Structure 1
Amino acid sequence: GFSEAVKALENKKYIVESINLASISQVPEDADVVIIAGPQREFLDAEVTALEEYLDVGGGVFIMLDPSTDPELDNLFEEWGVLVDDRLAIDDPNIGRLVGLDPWVVLVSSYGEHPITDDFSNGISLYPFARPIESETVDGIVESPLIWTNDQSWAETDLRGQLQFNEGRDRLGPLSIGVAFTRSSTVEKSDETGLDLTPIPPLPGQPPNEPVATSTSELEEQKEITLAEVIPPLPGQPPDEFDPKETVEKSENTSEEARLVVLGNSQFATNGWFQQQLNKDVFLNSVSWLGKPEEKILSISPKKNTNRRIAMKLVRARFLSWMAIVILPFLGFTIGGIIWWRRQ
């Protein structure tokens, strides 16, 4: 389960709630981030539409996909340029053998340049049963690979046979198993809206109405040529300084930005794996970045100091001291003397 991840989010003052998009048909307006962790069933069309509408208004969605699953998010992925590989990421067996890991547990120490992973340096994170996630260029969307496997890894096609690289069928690493996407919510899905507006006739004695813009391009032209009316200052007050460029820049900066993170693994955030190396930081930094707390700096969470001292009674402590200082050395000398005497 994900109880450790939920507890970590609650410690960060997040309110974690489960939602059923099939019953509510839309993401709640107060939701900062939507997390989809290891979906096992297909999403309904209404659920996919709810996610798309949530992203259209600047929401943040975190999707963690496992191999051999198809949640039917093709339309959403195509819109954002997400490419999901059905193969299984296999790590170099020699690397895993050194640290006691199986080949299907990918050991990662290479990360992309992104606020989620900036402070990771060469730190290690572990991903059991991961699938590659890549991206393609889409207008208006910026993609940033987050997690890379090593050069000796590969994407395995045959999951039932022996795990070995097969030229022509498998794909040699490095593999991307996590990508972050950003899109401005002001990006239009089509160039022309095709609005067909019916003009309203003027009232008797009034001049005819001015023509109305019927396309996005005309609306943009009107937006560019619109000038603000400067109100004259009151007597004795200095004139106001007006800079139209500054107004345009402020309006552009207030536009919301939709964010999406897709990882080819959910087990790294499950109980037992969540506390391993940088797994916790990958998860929490992704959620924090998606929630857009720009005033906060994403970093590696400090490890809590664990008290590893052994508490025991005085009698037992003296007994252990005698065992280490007197009894064990005496037994060693005795056994050595017996062996020497028998050899003589």
Structure 2
Amino acid sequence: RYGSNALILILAFVGIVFVANYLAFNNPKDLADMTEDKQNTLSPEMVTALQNLPAKLSATGYFSPQTPRDTAQQLLGNMKTNSQGNFDFHFVDPVANPLDAKNAGVTGDGKIVLEMNGRKEIAGYADESELLRAMNRLLNPEARTVYFLTGHGERDINGSGQTGMSRALETLQNKNYTVKTLNLVAENRVPDDARTVIIAGPMQPLTPNEVGLLNNYVLHGGSLVVMADPLPLTDLGDQPDPLTESLGRVWGIRLRNDFVVDTTSTTIQNAIGSVYNRSHPITNAVTLLTIFPLARSIEISTQPSEGISLTSLVETDPNSQAWGETDFSALKQSGASVALDPATDTPGPLTLAAAGENATTGGRVAVFGNSIFASDDGFDAYGNGDLFVNAVDWAAGNDAAVDITIHPPTQRTFLPPGGLKWLAILLGSVCILPGIVLGAGIAAWVSRKRRG
């Protein structure tokens, strides 16, 4: 009799679980988000956008087996549930299907391609705000032209290796940017369609006239992405550098004449960026380290001009042994040892990238003390490519396309119990609870013994 009852209870339990899962799978809208901070609930902006799609929207997630897709699966599933049948998705392994990834313009792992009416946009990571920005670009197509400055030995967008930026060019084009080059000596003006001007590692100084043209462009709402290498890597020598002087004077962003040494790196000349400003669009979603080979440090003014706000975007780890070295001769000598000299060097943590925005004019600048990180040799290393593209997006104004309600995760801190609490837990788990179970067993045994 007891065995039959147990079997019936087990079958009933299994049946209830099966029916509950079946109903949940077929009625996902009736599910309740029980997380404290509603991390499994889409924002109102995303739900509105999905329910007002003018055409079918599809998403393809390019995730290799080495990249977890659980977050993307859940997010895209929620989007499908709320799309009224206008959204669908699937996943592709870019390692097993490299041709599919190449045809889609995907050059990394964990990317999501959105497609509507034959047009595509790439979301760099599985994040609701990133997907909503990509959707917004699909729904509101417009010309987005960026210019790479030429004429001073800058990195070649069509070249390869350390001197080329073909990977950056390819990625920007895959994000629907029109990429052109600009020679200010020949043009004597910044084109009207320029969303931003990128200055990638000039070897020769810009002329005062060129800097004046760029300043005027930014004064009227334009933007710059400046990547300036340490002076020994350029042909500037002791010549004045109107560009960096202007950045310091106008914006309060000063590029130091030093060389970042980071002893935590396998190569001390490779500065490691590990501390990111989470309140800025350029770095709020960068999760991987960034590597800056042969970089110079940046100093940010504590009292910038009126209307200008400055942000330190990327810094070295405050616990690492990193500093700004000014003895360039020691670094050039093979096997030479270097050490921090407090009298001449700048101790860490050091700023490797900074941004400035003028609230009055709308002008923006993003400044990096290195250009190799965005070259073909560095673009695909860790978070380098994402950082560069994020900077271009922000400078071009594409960060403000969507104002999304983010669900900030609740911070939970575990504090180990101490003193009497720890003793109570120990006694309760080791002595009291086992003692109760043992006592109940003995009592039951004695009771049966008396009855029998």
> Smaller-chain TM-score range?
0.5 to 0.7
Match of 1:171 among 346, 349, 352: 346
Say whether the 8 Å CA contact 2:357–2:364 is kept in structure 1. Answer: yes
Q: Which ranges of 4 or more aligned residues in structure 1 deviate by more than 4 Å? A: none
| Structure-to-structure mapping, 1:136-285, within 5 angstroms | 136=301, 137-138=303-304, 139-151=306-318, 152-161=321-330, 162-186=337-361, 257-285=362-390
Match for 1:72: what amino acid?
P
CA distance in 1, matches of 2:346, 2:311: 21
1:85 aligns with 2:260: no
| Structure-to-structure mapping, 1:26-37, within 5 angstroms | 26-37=189-200
1:105 aligns with 2:105: no
Match of 2:283 among 117, 141, 158: 117
Match of 1:48 among 191, 211, 218: 211
Say whether the 8 Å CA contact 2:247–2:254 is kept in structure 1. Answer: no
TM-fit CA distance, 1:167: 2.9
Match of 1:290 among 392, 395, 398: 395
TM-fit CA distance, 1:75: 2.9
TM-fit CA distance, 1:44: 1.2
Structure possessing the higher radius of gyration over alpha carbons: 1
CA distance in 2, matches of 1:140, 1:146: 19
Q: In structure 2, do the counterparts of structure 1 residues 48 and 118 end up closer, same or farther at CA, with 3 Å as the change threshold? A: same
CA distance in 1, matches of 2:369, 2:396: 20
Q: Which protein is richer in helix relative to its size?
A: 2
Match of 1:20 among 183, 190, 193: 183
CA distance in 2, matches of 1:23, 1:275: 33
TM-fit CA distance, 1:185: 4.2
Say whether the 8 Å CA contact 1:134–1:177 is kept in structure 2. Answer: no
Say whether the 8 Å CA contact 1:52–1:76 is kept in structure 2. Answer: no
Match for 2:325: what amino acid?
E
CA distance in 1, matches of 2:247, 2:258: 21
Match of 2:300 among 118, 128, 135: 135
Say whether the 8 Å CA contact 1:57–1:185 is kept in structure 2. Answer: no
The answer to which structure, 1 or 2, has the higher relative contact order (CA under 8 A, 6+ apart) is 1
Say whether the 8 Å CA contact 1:48–1:76 is kept in structure 2. Answer: no
Q: Cα deviation per residue 1:300-342 (whole Å; 9 max; x = unaligned)?
A: xxxxxxxxxxxxxxxxxxxxxxxxxxxxxxxxxxxxxxxxxxx
Cα RMSD for the two superposed structures? 1.7
CA distance in 2, matches of 1:297, 1:108: 28
Say whether the 8 Å CA contact 1:111–1:117 is kept in structure 2. Answer: yes
Q: In structure 2, do the counterparts of structure 1 residues 157 and 297 end up closer, same or farther at CA, with 3 Å as the change threshold? A: farther
**Aligned residue-pair number:** 221
Task: Name the counterpart of 1:196.
Answer: none
Task: Name the counterpart of 1:72.
Answer: 242
Match for 2:281: what amino acid?
P
